[in-house]
Amino acid sequence: MITSTGIALMLIGAFVTALVRVGYFRAKGYKVRILYIRRTDAAFTAGVVLITALSLVTIITTARNSAAGEECARQFRNALLYNAKLNQEQAGLSDDLEDELTKRRAAQDNLINTLGPDRVASPQSLTQYRVVVGQIEQRIDDIRERKMQAQRSRAPYPDPTCGRN
C-alpha cells in the first residue's frame, strides 16, 4: 500500500532526477564524477526543496494529530461505555430503593390496620413493625451506599482539548 509519505518521496525523486546533472571535476590530476544543478535551475530547485520540506512537515503533523485524535476518541468511548454501565446499575438501584420504600409504606399501612378501636397499637404489632421496618431501613441504607459508591467510581470524561497539540 502506498502511503502519502511514499508518494511525497517518489515526487522528490522525480524532481531530483529531472534537475540533477552528472559532470566531471578535475582535481590534482584526477577526474571525479559529481552531481550538480545548473545555475538556471537553482531557483526552481530551491522552490521544489522548500515545497517538499513543507509537504513532509504537513504529512508528519497530520499523522501525529490523527493518532492523538484517535486516542482521545478511544478514551471518550471507554468513558461513555463505563458510565452507561454505571447509569444502568444506578437505575436498577433506584428501582430497588423504590421497592423498599414501597415495602416500608406497606408496613406502616399494616400497622395502622392493626390498630384497635381505641387507636392504640398492641405491643406485639409495634415490635413486629419495628423489626420489619428496621430490616427495610437497613436495605435502604445499603442501596443508598451502593449508589454513592457507583457515583464516586464514575469515570471522568477526557479533557475536551485532548488530541490537540
Plot region of 163 (φ>0 → left; ψ -120 to 50 → alpha; else → beta): left
First to last CA, the chain: 28
DSSP-assigned letter for residue 114 = T
* Alpha-helical segments (H) within the chain: 4-19, 39-113, 123-152
Rounded to an integer, the average pLDDT of 16-22 is 71
Question: In the structure grid, which three cell numbers stand for residue 3, read together?
Answer: 502511503
List residues bridging with 37 in a β-sheet: 20
Chain mean pLDDT for the chain: 80
Q: Is the pLDDT of residue 135 over 70?
A: yes
Size (the chain), residues: 165
In this structure, are residues 75 and 163 in contact, taking their beta carbons and an 8 Å threshold?
no
- Alpha-carbon distance of 105 to 66, in angstroms, equals 58
Output the pLDDT for position 113.
81
What is the value of pTM for the model shown? 0.50
Weakest mean pLDDT among 14-23, 89-98, 121-130, 146-155: 14-23
